[in-house]
Structure 1
Amino acid sequence: MAGAPDTRVDDYIAALPSWQQDICRTVRRLVHEADPEVAETIKRTRQPYFVLEGNVCALLATKDHVNVFLYDGGLAPDPQGIITGGTTNSTGRTVALYEDGPFDEDALREIFRAVIADNRAGGWRSIKKRASLGE
């Protein structure tokens, strides 16, 4: 069922330090607020992914931050400037969230909404292809 918590994602989060757990739980809440139909899964053996008609985002905790991978082909607008990496990547970008760093929840939720809208419109690859054809 879309939107239902995946216990494997719970397990991934539970194994992290408390500050990373807090960040991951907040990101999880925001992606579900962006669209309640988002589903959770595990890909690449243990990495939490949030999907709806394609990948929306994934989480990866590192030693000093949590990466939120955005699977948007660079299409989702970032008016608040929260994207921290992958700006020249053709498939996705990242938002690095640190223990004591700023975290604009509204901006991240809006990016999730844009990625989901693009997924529902056929996905970023399809959108870029149509744009290159002048459609």
Structure 2
Amino acid sequence: MTTTQDSKSPSELIDGRIKDLGDWRGEMLGRLRTLIHQADPDVVETWKWRGVPVWEDAGMICTGETYKAVVKLTFAKGAALPDPARLFNSSLEGNTRRAIDFQKGEEVDEEAFKALVRAAVALNKSKSRK
């Protein structure tokens, strides 16, 4: 039986994206995905906009896009999140979103990243209760 993209779960599609990249971008996306799951064991993976991995819990947490020179994680409500480690380094001009561009060989501040994910989930849950 042939599996079509439509019959695969979002998690399987994300697995496929990581594998298909086959380079540092796949490794980075996989590592960030693991950190998201560590920060929020209840996270739900979705696949939107013709191939963008999305992580959600009571609303969108972030998207994971891969480009030639960066892996970009865009936090849907990033402008409202505390970022004491100053991880956000992209999409800083908007009123809502903020992004982190990870480049080849870059170290990830895992604890600060997980704190950002947890803050995004807390913000989503605080908004969904109202």
Q: Does 1:60 align with 2:65?
A: yes
Amino acid at match of 2:59: G
Aligned pairs for 1:86-105 (under 5 A) are 86-105=91-110
Paired-residue identity, %: 27
Q: Does 1:10 align with 2:10?
A: no
Aligned pairs for 1:47-86 (under 5 A) are 47-86=52-91
TM-score (norm 1): 0.83
Q: Is the partner of 1:95 in helix, strand or coil?
A: strand
Q: Distance in 2 between matches of 1:103 and 1:35?
A: 17
Considering only aligned residues, what root-mean-square deviation do their CA atoms show, in Å? 1.7
Check whether the contact 2:17–2:26 (CA below 8 A) recurs between aligned residues: no
Instruction: Kindly report structure 1 stretches of 4+ aligned residues shifted beyond 3 Å.
Output: none
Q: Distance in 1 between matches of 2:93 and 2:126?
A: 23
Aligned length: 121
TM-score (norm 2): 0.86
- 1:13 to partner: Cα distance: 1.3
Distance 1:50 1:115, change over 3 A: same
Identify unmatched segments of 5+ residues in structure 2.
Answer: 1-8
- 1:73 to partner: Cα distance: 4.6
Identify unmatched segments of 5+ residues in structure 1.
Answer: 127-135
Q: Distance in 2 between matches of 1:30 and 1:100?
A: 17
